[in-house]
């Protein structure tokens, strides 16, 4: 995809815009770090489930199925990927705020675009799975009755 130059006057970045960017950088860095921490906890929980499901006695209580462990580990990627994009956005934005290089702002906006694109795709997948689940929840009992 080639870059197109928009024929308009140069964008003037005001002090207020810089302040907004600076405060955005702090929150995106915080949220990316929290995402990494949550992904780590999910991996640990997945490992714990896989180990504990084999060690816990089965009598008298519900046993956690061992396949839930890998599912937790798989779902940790849904925290890691957007966290990486947010962290890279925050880092590129920090470089822009320090150096005022246009290429750093372009890089930051590219990471932000990737973050929102990933969340949009995950949202579409989630909605699709919910619709399929609802249809299955209705259809399967009806098919079992006949």
Is residue 139 a part of any domain in this protein?
A: yes
Per-residue pLDDT tens over the stretch 96-125: 999 988 899 999 999 999 999 999 999 999
Q: Which domain holds residue 85?
A: 19-55+63-145
- Tell me the average pLDDT across 73-81: 92
Number of domains the chain is built from: 1
The tokens describing 3, both together, are 């870059």
Q: CB–CB of 95/104 below 8 Å?
A: yes
pLDDT of residue 142: 86
Is residue 109 a part of any domain in this protein?
A: yes
Is residue 77 a part of any domain in this protein?
A: yes
pLDDT of residue 64: 74
Residue predicted with more confidence, 29 or 4: 29
User: CA–CA separation, 140 vs 128, rounded Å?
Assistant: 18
Is residue 2 a part of any domain in this protein?
A: no
The answer on pLDDT for 57 being more than 70 is no
Q: CB–CB of 37/71 below 8 Å?
A: no
Task: Return the closest-CA partner of residue 92 out of 106, 78, 77.
Answer: 106
The answer on pLDDT for 7 being more than 60 is no
Provide the CA 134 distance to its chain's centre, in angstroms.
25
Give the chain's mean pLDDT: 88
Q: CB–CB of 95/105 below 8 Å?
A: no
């Amino acid at each position: 995809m080639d870059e197109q130059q928009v024929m308009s006057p140069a964008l003037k970045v005001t002090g207020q815009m810089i302040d907004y960017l600076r405060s955005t950088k702090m929150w995106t860095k915080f949220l990316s770090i929290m995402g990494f921490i949550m992904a780590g906890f999910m991996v640990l929980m997945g490992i714990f489930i896989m180990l504990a499901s084999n060690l816990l006695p089965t009598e008298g209580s519900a046993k956690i199925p061992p396949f839930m462990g890998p599912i937790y580990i798989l779902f940790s990627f849904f925290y890691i990927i957007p966290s990486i994009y947010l962290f890279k956005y925050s880092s590129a934005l920090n470089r822009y705020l320090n150096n005022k290089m246009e290429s750093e702002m372009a890089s930051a906006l590219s990471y932000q675009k990737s973050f929102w694109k990933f969340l949009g795709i995950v949202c579409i997948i989630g909605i699709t799975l919910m619709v399929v689940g609802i249809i299955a929840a209705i259809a399967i009992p009806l098919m079992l009755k006949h």
